[in-house]
C-alpha cells in the first residue's frame, strides 16, 4: 500500500496534488510520502513483536537526511555501509547505539569514525577486516562490538546483481569457516563478539530462501554458544521484496516474515536485528517527469521524457520494471497505445520501458514512475551535466523540498582549471 492516489482526476501524494508540486519545483523530481514510510516501518516492527528487536533502515536505499530523521523519530536504527552514510545517520539525530556498520570494504578511517562517534556493532565480512578492526580499536583504547557476516550459500532466487548469499558472491565468511573466525575474534584485543549476521540478497519474493538461511544461522548460533561465545543478537539483514507491478507480484507480507522468524529463531533468547530498505522506502516514492516530445518512429512510437537514466538507473542497470502512470487520470475506456518510454541522454540504454501501453499523452503532460523511492535518488548521477533532481517530502497537506536542484553554475564551479592551462 502507498499514499499516492487519484482525487478529482489528479494524482495526489497524500493530500497534495502532484501537479501543484511540479508547478512549484519543476520536473523531474522525486516525491516521498511520510505516511507510507511510517506505515511500512511500523508493519515491520509490529511483525517481530513481542521478540526483542531493532529495525535498522538500510540507508543505501534512500539516504536523504529528512527521511532518516523521520524514521529515527519512530525508533528506527540505521544500517550503514560507508562513512558518509554513518554521518548522514548522525546528522539525522540517530544515536550511535542504533547504528550498524555493514559492508565488505570498511576502511580504518571509517572504523575510527564509528568507534569514536558511537556504534551498535560492526558486521565483519572477512578475516583481514577483523584484524584491522582489532588494531584500530586497540589503538583507540576501546572495544568494537561485532557480529560476523556468514555466507550461508543459499540461492536467494533474485536478480544476479543483487544476490549476496551464494558462495561465489563477495559477501561474508563461508559458514563452514565461521567457527574458526569466531575463535580468532575471541582471541583478539579490542573485539567483543555479540552476534551473528547474515544477508542473502535483495528483492526476494519468497520466504523459503530466508528460512533456509536462518535455519543455518540457528544451527551456527547454537554451536557458537557451545564453543563459549556470547551470542545475544542475530542480524538477519534485509531483502524482502515489494510489488513493482499492480498485477502479478505478491511478495510475502512483513507479518508472514515475522511469523517465520519467530518460528525458526524464537526460542534462542536473542535480540533480532533486521535491515529492510526497499520494503520501507520503495513504494513511498514517485519519480515525476514531463513529456518533452512524442516521436513517431519506424514501427514504434516514443515518449521522450525530461527524466533520464541518470535520474533513475534501475531500468537500464537491472532491466527493472516501474509502473508508469499519467498524473491526470484517464477516463475509463479511453484509448491507449504502446510507447517506448525514453529519456534525453545520449545512450540507447536510456530507456525506461519498451512497448508499454499508456494513454495518448502529449508534450507537456506529466507522468509518474511508481515504486521509485528505493535505489532512485541514491543512485542518481550528473551524467551529461544533468543536475541531480529535487527530492520532496509530503506529510498530509504540506510538502517541502528536502534536496534542492543545483544550478549549472554550482555544478561547473566544482571543477578547477590548473594554472598551467
Residues with catalytic function? 346
Q: What is the DSSP letter of 350?
A: -
The three cell numbers of residue 48 are 517481530
Q: Please, what's the b/e burial string for 312-344 (b: 16 or more CB within 10 A of its CB; e: otherwise)?
A: bbbbbeeebbbbbbbbbbbeeeeeeeebbbbbb
Which residues fall within 8 angstroms of residue 45, CB to CB, at 6 or more apart? 53, 55, 75
CA 106 to chain centre: 19
Torsion sign (Cα): 308, 78, 198, 105: positive
Cα distances (Å, whole numbers) of residue 118 to 12, 94, 110: 40, 10, 12
* Euclidean distance between CA atoms 88 and 63, whole angstroms: 7
With CA atoms as reference, report the closest residue to 217 among 152, 127, 125, 146. Answer: 152
Residue 187 burial class via C-beta count within 10 angstroms: exposed 0-12, middle 13-18, buried 19 and up? exposed
* Euclidean distance between CA atoms 365 and 341, whole angstroms: 13
Query: Is the separation of the CB atoms in 204 and 158 below 8 Å?
Result: yes
CA end-to-end distance (rounded Å), the chain: 56
Using N-to-C axis directions, what is the helix angle for 83-91 and 108-117, rounded to 10°? 20
- Nearest 5°: the CA angle 368, 372, 376 is 120
Amino acid at each position: 500500500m502507498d499514499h499516492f492516489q487519484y482525487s478529482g482526476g489528479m494524482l495526489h501524494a497524500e493530500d497534495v496534488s502532484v501537479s501543484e508540486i511540479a508547478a512549484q519545483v519543476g520536473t523531474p523530481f522525486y516525491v516521498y510520502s511520510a505516511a507510507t514510510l511510517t506505515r511500512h516501518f511500523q508493519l515491520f516492527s509490529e511483525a517481530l513483536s513481542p521478540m526483542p528487536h531493532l529495525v535498522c533502515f538500510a540507508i543505501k536505499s534512500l539516504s536523504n537526511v529528512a527521511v532518516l530523521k523521520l524514521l529515527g523519530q519512530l525508533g528506527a536504527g540505521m544500517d550503514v555501509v560507508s562513512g558518509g552514510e554513518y554521518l548522514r545517520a548522525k546528522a539525522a539525530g540517530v544515536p550511535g547505539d542504533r547504528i550498524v556498520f555493514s559492508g565488505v570494504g570498511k576502511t580504518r578511517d571509517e572504523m575510527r569514525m564509528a568507534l569514536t562517534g558511537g556504534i551498535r556493532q560492526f558486521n565483519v565480512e572477512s578475516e583481514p577486516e577483523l584484524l584491522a578492526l582489532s588494531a584500530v580499536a586497540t589503538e583507540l583504547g576501546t572495544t568494537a562490538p561485532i557480529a560476523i557476516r556468514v555466507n550461508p550459500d543459499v540461492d536467494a532466487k533474485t536478480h544476479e546483481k543483487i544476490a549476496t548469499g551464494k558462495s561465489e558472491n563477495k559477501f561474508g565468511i563461508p559458514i563452514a569457516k565461521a567457527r574458526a573466525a569466531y575463535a580468532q575474534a575471541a582471541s583478539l584485543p579490542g573485539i567483543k563478539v555479540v552476534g551473528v549476521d547474515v544477508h542473502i540478497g535483495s528483492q526476494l519474493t519468497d520466504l523459503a530462501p530466508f528460512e533456509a538461511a536462518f535455519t543455518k544461522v540457528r544451527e551456527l548460533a547454537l554451536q557458537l554458544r557451545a564453543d563459549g561465545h556470547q551470542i545475544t543478537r542475530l542480524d538477519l539483514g534485509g531483502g524482502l521484496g515489494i510489488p513493482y507491478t499492480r498485477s502479478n507480484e505478491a511478495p510475502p507480507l512483513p507479518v508472514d516474515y515475522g511469523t517465520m522468524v519467530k518460528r525458526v529463531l524464537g526460542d534462542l533468547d536473542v535480540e533480532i536485528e533486521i535491515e529492510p530498505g526497499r520494503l520501507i522506502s520503495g513504494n513511498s516514492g514517485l519519480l515525476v517527469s514531463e513529456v518533452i516530445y512524442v516521436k513517431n518512429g519506424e514501427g514504434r512510437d516514443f515518449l521522450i521524457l525530461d527524466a533520464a537514466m541518470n535520474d533513475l538507473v534501475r531500468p537500464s542497470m537491472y532491466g527493472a520494471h516501474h509502473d508508469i502512470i499519467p498524473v491526470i487520470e484517464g477516463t475509463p475506456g479511453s484509448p491507449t497505445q504502446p510507447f517506448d518510454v525514453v529519456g534525453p541522454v545520449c545512450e540507447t540504454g536510456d530507456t525506461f520501458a519498451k512497448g508499454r501501453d499508456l494513454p495518448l499523452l502529449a508534450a507537456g503532460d506529466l507522468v509518474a514512475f511508481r515504486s521509485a523511492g528505493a535505489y532512485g535518488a541514491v543512485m542518481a548521477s550528473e551524467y551529461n551535466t544533468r543536475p541531480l533532481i529535487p527530492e520532496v517530502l509530503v506529510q498530509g497537506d504540506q510538502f517541502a523540498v528536502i534536496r534542492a536542484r543545483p544550478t549549472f553554475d554550482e555544478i561547473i564551479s566544482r571543477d578547477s582549471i590548473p594554472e598551467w592551462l
